[in-house]
Amino acid sequence: MGNNLLKGKRGIIFGALNEQSIAWKVAERAHEEGATFVLTNAPIAMRMGEINNLAEKTGSKVIPADATSLEDLEKLISESMEILGGKIDFILHSIGMSVNVRKGRHYTDENYDFTMKGLDVSALSFHKVMQTSKKLNAMNEWGSIVALSYIAAQRVFPDYNDMADNKSYLESVARSFGYHYGVSDKVRVNTISQSPTMTTAGSGVKGFNEFINFSEKMSPLGNADAGACADYCIVMFSDLTRYVTMQNLFHDGGFSNTGVTQEVIEKFSS
Ligand SMILES: NC(=O)c1ccc[n+]([C@@H]2O[C@H](COP(=O)([O-])OP(=O)(O)OC[C@H]3O[C@@H](n4cnc5c(N)ncnc54)[C@H](O)[C@@H]3O)[C@@H](O)[C@H]2O)c1
């Protein structure tokens, strides 16, 4: 049951691939909270067809768009305004991909074409989405834009590879674009730094199962799951957080401020 937190709001949700996707959960919650929105994903992801089930369930239209293509983004954003009947109140950027990770290239042996592709998809696309929406004057005042990040932007998690650099860039774009978008249109821009979560993108990282268990033990509240992340996104899209902008917001059960936990210490007792 929703609380009408997003009643009357219009949005665009990037990145719902399957039921595990964080964006999928956000779409379900946004629907419950009274929002209308367009779902989008890369044309290649559409082939799996699962997004159509989500669209049906939430009464949404699907518009394919490669988030690295300015042409696709222009089409997506203008058509969304037509379909939804006005300017946009919220955008979720839930997109990440590293070719180096996929192809098993070590961080110290990157293929730089792969690196550039991953950077474009995972980070620069966030700038592209906002630059396009700004040029099209597509956002309502007090609108909210959120991208999903990970703590490897601040600290080393070796197997996260070049995604760590991509997330640092993503968080920097949130600050810089957030400044300009705030001044010009009162639009807020934030990143949510989420716990490791069992999804297609997450499980692509080497040693993910062990890592998710470690993170669970290192978080006083345990790992936040995709549903809880969706709840946080909804609050960030709502009018209850109108003065939060240019922030990287940790949603991680306390992991980011924990040096060690008793449970982890006990694993080392001899
Ligand atoms: N799963 C985790 O452990 C975790 C933790 C913190 C942050 N995140 C971030 O959350 C976000 C969502 O990932 P997820 O875990 O839900 O996995 P996911 O695999 O379900 O979502 C990633 C999405 O990115 C989309 N995508 C890839 N290339 C694209 C392109 N060129 N244009 C448009 N879309 C494209 C994919 O189709 C997919 O829908 C990502 O930014 C990810 O880095 C995930």
Distance 21 CA to ligand 1 centre (A): 7
- The residues, any chain, with a CB within 8 Å of residue 269's CB and separated by 6 or more, are none
pLDDT of 199 strictly over 80: yes
Instruction: Write the CATH number for 201.
Output: 3.40.50.720
CA atoms within 13 A on the CB side of 6: 30
In a domain, residue 32? The reply is yes
Residue 55 is predicted with a pLDDT of 97
> 19 alpha carbon to ligand 1 midpoint, in Å?
12
Question: Could you list the residue range(s) of the whole structural domain that residue 88 is in?
Answer: 10-267
Q: Is 3 a domain residue?
A: no
Q: How far is Cα 229 from Cα 167, in angstroms, rounded to an integer?
A: 17
Q: How many independent structural domains does the chain possess? A: 1
Transcribe 110-176 into DSSP letters.
--HHHHHHHHIIIIIHHHHHHHHHHHTT-EEEEEEEEEEE-GGGTS--GGGTTHHHHHHHHHHHHHH
Q: What is the CA(202)–ligand 1 centre distance, in A? A: 8
Of all atoms in ligand 1, which is nearest to the CA of residue 67?
Answer: 32
Whether pTM exceeds 0.95:
yes
Q: Would you mind telling me the total number of residues written for the chain in this entry?
A: 270
In the three-class reduction of DSSP (H, G, I as helix; E, B as strand; rest coil), residue 178 is classed as helix
* Mean pLDDT computed over every residue of the chain: 96
Tell me if 4 is assigned to some domain: no
pLDDT tens-digit readout, 183-194: 999 999 999 999
Q: Report the run of H or E that residue 103 belongs to, with start and end.
A: none
Q: Which of 148, 159, 167 to mutate to test the pocket of ligand 1 (most atoms within 8 A of CB)?
A: 148
Distance of CA 2 to the CA centre of its chain: 22
Asked if residue 163 belongs to a domain, the reply is yes
Is residue 51 domain-resident? yes
Tell me which of 14, 18, 22, 162 to substitute to probe ligand 1's pocket, judged by most ligand atoms within 8 Å of the beta carbon: 22
